[in-house]
């Protein structure tokens, strides 16, 4: 049986565009460890300018960007970084801050909108007055917030956070603000403001090129010249000194020029799927439309006999009856919809550049069929 696959597991499965492949083939490159790759330099300079920061550093991954930020901001021994308990840094980076950088991560409870209580933060900041304690050197915010469902962090929260950490007497020395901006361009597209405005008060931002922006590899860390000089040094120690990687940076430049302006389309697609699921009024699979901010959609499983894993498994197979019921593409091929389980209760769908209008319609067809099947079983 022939099938069409709609892969919505993550925006990391996005593919380089045709223009990226062309520009990668044509990229002028050099040994970047010697500082001789003009395409990497262009990507770093251009990204820094977009964020209104002094300098940028091309790194292989978002994980390395975040780790470098921790290493530079928390360089003193006994330092601590405060991060959300649902943040990527805490959950999905193997605790690299601890086992590679020797920095303690302290968590603060993420609220469903990806923010955290500033009052709680005030209490958590440790300022060295008691020699039993570590010293808070950094606070990180994830924007958009992945596990919270692509939530865009409100500007008012970021402004209040900056005011709080800059208050005299908070912290022994200046507390650095870092933004895990893996999907920061999605936040900007959703808010209709520049990334520079969003990250204005942040000392560093790690920006991923390889997620919704479709580039095959890489992130850029931006910040002050002094910060980037130190991160540059430490990148080498982490094995992130790359050579003729301008081939990769070339794709990143295309991402900034051509994919960033189109992110709104991914958000529209996400909403379209959310609205289609909502319209079904299923007692088993529920979506809260007010929580759909960007390119990540969480579907909640309300049926005790079903888990997100099982739901995802079902969407990825094609039953013969589906073909008979017309749940196919225009050529009669069955629809395989790939999604990922966030946990037991929530299934995650993520939209990106290559998911066209047609693929969105196929995803809706498949979801509608399977959800109605569940509703017939568990009404």
Ligand X SMILES: Cc1ncc(COP(=O)(O)O)c(C=O)c1O
> Which residues form the interface with ligand X (CB under 6 A)?
12, 61-63, 88, 142, 146, 180, 182, 208, 210, 219
In 3-state terms the chain splits into helix, strand, coil percentages (rounded to 5) of 45, 20, 40
Residue with Cβ nearer ligand X (165 or 217)? 217
For the bound state, the minimum distance from the C-beta of residue 307 to ligand X, rounded and expressed in Å, comes to 22
Residue with Cβ nearer ligand X (110 or 282)? 110
For the bound state, the minimum distance from the C-beta of residue 180 to ligand X, rounded and expressed in Å, comes to 5
Residue with Cβ nearer ligand X (182 or 277)? 182
Residue with Cβ nearer ligand X (285 or 351)? 351
Residue with Cβ nearer ligand X (30 or 216)? 216
Residue with Cβ nearer ligand X (59 or 335)? 59
Residue with Cβ nearer ligand X (14 or 284)? 14
For the bound state, the minimum distance from the C-beta of residue 212 to ligand X, rounded and expressed in Å, comes to 10
What count of Cα atoms within 13 Å lies in the side-chain half-sphere of residue 32? 28
Beta-bridge mates of residue 328: 334
Please say whether the beta carbons of 323 and 334 come within 8 A: yes
Residue 174 to residue 135: CA distance in whole angstroms: 11
For the bound state, the minimum distance from the C-beta of residue 186 to ligand X, rounded and expressed in Å, comes to 11
Residue with Cβ nearer ligand X (190 or 370)? 190
DSSP 151-166: BPPPHHHHHHHHHHHH
Residue with Cβ nearer ligand X (186 or 328)? 186
For the bound state, the minimum distance from the C-beta of residue 215 to ligand X, rounded and expressed in Å, comes to 11
Residue 372 to residue 361: CA distance in whole angstroms: 16
Given the DSSP bridges, would you call strands 104-108 and 79-84 parallel, antiparallel or unpaired? parallel
Instruction: State the helix-helix crossing angle for 18-26 and 246-254, rounded to 10 degrees.
Output: 140
Residue 110 to residue 170: CA distance in whole angstroms: 21
For the bound state, the minimum distance from the C-beta of residue 248 to ligand X, rounded and expressed in Å, comes to 12
Cβ-based neighbour number of residue 122 at 10 Å:
12
Residue with Cβ nearer ligand X (73 or 366)? 73
Q: Residue 173: which residues within 8 A CB-CB, separation 6 or more? A: 137
Instruction: State the helix-helix crossing angle for 357-377 and 263-279, rounded to 10 degrees.
Output: 20
For the bound state, the minimum distance from the C-beta of residue 65 to ligand X, rounded and expressed in Å, comes to 8
Q: Which residue is nearest to ligand X (CB)?
A: 62
Beta-bridge mates of residue 350: 296
For the bound state, the minimum distance from the C-beta of residue 227 to ligand X, rounded and expressed in Å, comes to 19
For the bound state, the minimum distance from the C-beta of residue 92 to ligand X, rounded and expressed in Å, comes to 7
Please say whether the beta carbons of 220 and 260 come within 8 A: no
For the bound state, the minimum distance from the C-beta of residue 63 to ligand X, rounded and expressed in Å, comes to 3
Residue 32 to residue 243: CA distance in whole angstroms: 5
Please say whether the beta carbons of 301 and 310 come within 8 A: no
Residue 373 to residue 241: CA distance in whole angstroms: 52
Please, what is the Cα angle at 314 between 313 and 320, to 5 degrees? 135
């Amino acid at each position: 049986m022939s099938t069409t696959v709609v892969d919505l597991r993550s925006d990391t499965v996005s593919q380089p565009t045709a223009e990226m492949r062309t520009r990668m083939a044509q990229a002028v490159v050099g040994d970047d460890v010697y500082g001789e790759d003009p395409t990497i330099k262009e990507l770093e300079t251009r990204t820094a300018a977009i964020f209104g920061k002094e300098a940028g550093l091309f790194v292989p991954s978002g994980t390395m960007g975040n780790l470098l930020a921790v290493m530079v901001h928390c360089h003193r021994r006994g330092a601590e970084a405060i991060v959300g308990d649902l943040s990527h840094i805490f959950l999905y980076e193997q605790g690299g801050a601890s086992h590679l950088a020797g920095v303690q991560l302290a968590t603060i409870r993420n609220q469903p909108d990806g923010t955290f209580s500033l009052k709680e933060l005030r209490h958590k900041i440790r300022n060295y007055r008691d020699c039993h304690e570590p010293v808070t050197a950094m606070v990180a915010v994830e924007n958009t917030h992945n596990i919270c469902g692509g939530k865009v962090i409100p500007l008012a929260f970021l402004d209040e956070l900056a005011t709080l950490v800059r208050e005299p007497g908070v912290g022994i020395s200046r507390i650095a603000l870092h933004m895990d901006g893996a999907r920061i361009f999605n936040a900007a597209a959703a808010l209709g403001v520049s990334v520079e405005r969003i990250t204005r008060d942040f000392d560093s931002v790690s920006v991923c090129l390889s997620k919704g922006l479709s580039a095959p590899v890489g992130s850029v860390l931006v910040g002050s010249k002094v910060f980037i000089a130190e991160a540059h040094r430490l990148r080498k120690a982490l094995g992130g000194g790359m050579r003729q990687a301008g081939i990769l940076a070339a794709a990143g430049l295309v991402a900034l020029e051509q994919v960033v302006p189109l992110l709104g389309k991914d958000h529209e697609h996400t909403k379209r799927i959310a609205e289609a699921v909502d319209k079904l009024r299923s007692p088993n699979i529920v979506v809260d439309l007010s929580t759909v901010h960007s390119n990540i959609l969480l579907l909640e499983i309300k049926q005790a006999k079903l888990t997100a894993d099982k739901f995802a498994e079902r969407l990825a197979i094609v039953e013969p009856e589906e073909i008979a019921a017309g749940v196919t593409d225009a050529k009669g091929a069955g629809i395989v919809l790939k999604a990922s389980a966030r946990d037991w209760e929530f299934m995650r769908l993520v939209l990106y550049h290559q998911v066209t209008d047609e693929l969105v319609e196929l995803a809706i067809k498949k979801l509608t069929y399977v959800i109605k099947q569940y509703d017939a079983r568990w009404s």
